[in-house]
Chain A
Amino acid sequence: MSIVCENVHKVYTSGGYYTPALRGISLHINAGEFVCIMGPSGSGKSTLLNLMGALDRPTKGKVFIDGVDLSQLNDYALAELRNQKIGFIFQTFNLIQRMTALENVEVPLLIRNIPDREIREKARRILGWVGLANRIHHTPDRLSGGEQQRVAIARALITQPKIILGDEPTGNIDTKATHSIMKLLKYLNEKLKITMVIVTHNMEVAAYAQRVFHIRDGVIERVVIHSDKSKMHSD
């Protein structure tokens, strides 16, 4: 599923002050592509990711997901789009603390018309697949950072999304776990053709991407293409 940004601007207003976060971003991410967005703090990379994930609306410009203009969709249609097509992974994992791993993974499907038993079965299977079969009844506070991120990935995967958006998904975990998480994402990208957009500070993470967008002060500074990187990491 492709993502297209056309001259996207985002201005935050707070207390009468206008802070431009994005100042005209245009890009095209192909279906099944693996890209990273890099840039210093405050460069606007998270803002861009949120716009691509329909979590926010641009001040100016348009975002298209699979050719659909998001500005034409109301809040309900955007919610449905997020539920059906997009999976999010966050730096702080964003798991619901009172729920077990299993319950957290079930959450996205609770609003769908699927029997409870089927949801539970699916959640169990995906948690097993990400290597947490013996952790399903643990609450997030009893899981390591890497394990929590796997729960979050399982939660993103349970809806069978076409796009996964990661906002510094390895920012809070150690190097070893970082690589195992990135290999997992790479596998999902190659085998399931899920479009990956990952915001990161980490050069090693960026190395997994086919293209890296470097952003500074709300504009794309340069684009680096790693044409054969995917082959390097797939073995």
Chain B
Amino acid sequence: MKILRIIKFAFGALKNRKLRAILTILGITIGPAVIVALVGATQGFGASVTERFNKLGLTTIFVMPGMRSSLRMDDTVVRTISQIPNVEVVIPYYNIRATIRSGSQTKDISIIALDISKLKSILPGISLEEGEFPKALSQAVIGSNIANPQDGSQGVTLNNVISTSINTRIGTRIVKVSRAFVVSGILKPFGQSFFINPDDTIFVPIGIGKSLTGSQTYSGIYVVARTINDVSNIQNAISDLYGSRVRVVAVSAMLSNIQSVNESISAILVSVAFMSVIVAFIGIMTTMFTSVHERTKEIGILKSLGYSPRDILGIFLAEATLTGALGGLIGIILGSFLSFAIIGMFGGGGLGFIGFRPPGQAATAIQSTIITPIITPELLIGTFAMAVAIGALAGLLPSWRASRMIPVVALRYE
């Protein structure tokens, strides 16, 4: 029997029992939909994380004083770390909490004082929107959220003066100090990231940090490894030197941690989805057994008209496969939409989802970055093929049983 005729025959039989066919199809829809949705969403999420980490610099290692550490992060520490093999560059910095006046209200920001010429080694993704990096101590380069506040208040333009209010310690007293900078450059929007949030940061030359804090002790040190493969050795070397007196965080390690968490969550959810595929398998098989049973007489009629066991097998197998195919098709379409919904639900707030926030930085208005699910043709075709295969496999036993019926016995069935 020609394949097209078999499909037509099977379709006619499905149409005859619409409600049951629809329910069976819906039963198989859930598995592929969930698989496409989850894999698409987690891959999109993973890709977006990777992209951000790449901007952050996968060779960057953050070294900060440990909790209640007595370690003074001074030039001695900088020199010691510089001597670790394969360290490309060591960049000490001051991270100063400050507020700026934005419209009628004040806004928390960070002032990071560092050797500005080395900014790109730490954050490869950073670039200027306009202007230039500071040349003088009175100059600053500002993040895009400071230049163009998200709350709609008036921003700051190039060569304007931006005044900041800084809490600084003089002896044992905390004193509010005002400090103004000329904006020499404005950064392009960077997006949410870890430890440094360039969009809400004012970068100033390192000399300012010393004068503002009045100390030689840095807030932390950025260490840049020569290659990504050197990162863990350097990380270990620093830990060996200072133990718990420092906190060492490598961007690449964070990335692989997040990715492995992301992957495990995805694996758990997808395995749940596979359970639903097994349920669908049993569902199709049950429906097909019922269908074969109900159509015993029809099988007898077809056999009396000369349909061979193979023809009968084909007709019922086509019906089961068609059920699987329709379920799979609806499933992957539904799943594609669903993956956008999942991202919208969990990933809309950028990386806030992970609960990570730059230390010493308030929860500023997060510039929501759009994460797009990654739905590859391989994912769609693979999932669809799985649904088709499930349908065919589930139909095999009932169809085989139909094909083996003795014509006269089947005909006598009422």
- The chain A residues found within 8 Å of chain B, CB to CB, are 50, 53, 55-56, 75-76, 79-84, 86, 88, 90, 94-96, 98-99, 107-108, 110-111, 113, 116, 155, 159
Contacts and interface: CB of A to CB of B under 8 A. Distances in A.
Contacts of A84: 306
Interface of B: 1-2, 5, 9, 12-13, 15-16, 297-298, 300-311, 406-408, 411
A83 B306 contact: yes
A107 B302 contact: yes
Given A98-B13, A98-B16, A79 B306 contact: yes
Nearest to B302: A107
Given A50-B408, A94-B411, A111 B311 contact: yes
A79 B408 contact: no
Contacts of B1: 110-111
26 contacts: A55-B303, A55-B304, A55-B408, A56-B407, A79-B307, A79-B309, A80-B306, A80-B308, A82-B304, A83-B305, A88-B305, A94-B300, A94-B301, A94-B411, A95-B301, A96-B298, A98-B13, A98-B15, A107-B302, A108-B305, A110-B1, A110-B9, A111-B1, A111-B306, A113-B2, A116-B5
A82 B406 contact: no
Given A50-B408, A98-B16, A107 B303 contact: no
A53 B305 CA distance: 10
Given A82-B305, A95-B301, 13 more contacts: A55-B407, A55-B408, A75-B308, A79-B303, A80-B308, A94-B411, A98-B12, A98-B15, A98-B16, A110-B1, A110-B5, A116-B5, A159-B306
The 8 nearest A-B residue pairs measured at CB: A83-B306, A79-B308, A82-B306, A56-B408, A98-B16, A55-B407, A55-B408, A108-B305
Contacts of A98: 12-13, 15-16
A21 B303 CA distance: 22
B309 A94 contact: no
A116 B311 CA distance: 17
A227 B1 CA distance: 44
A190 B329 CA distance: 56
Contacts of A94: 297, 300-301, 304, 411
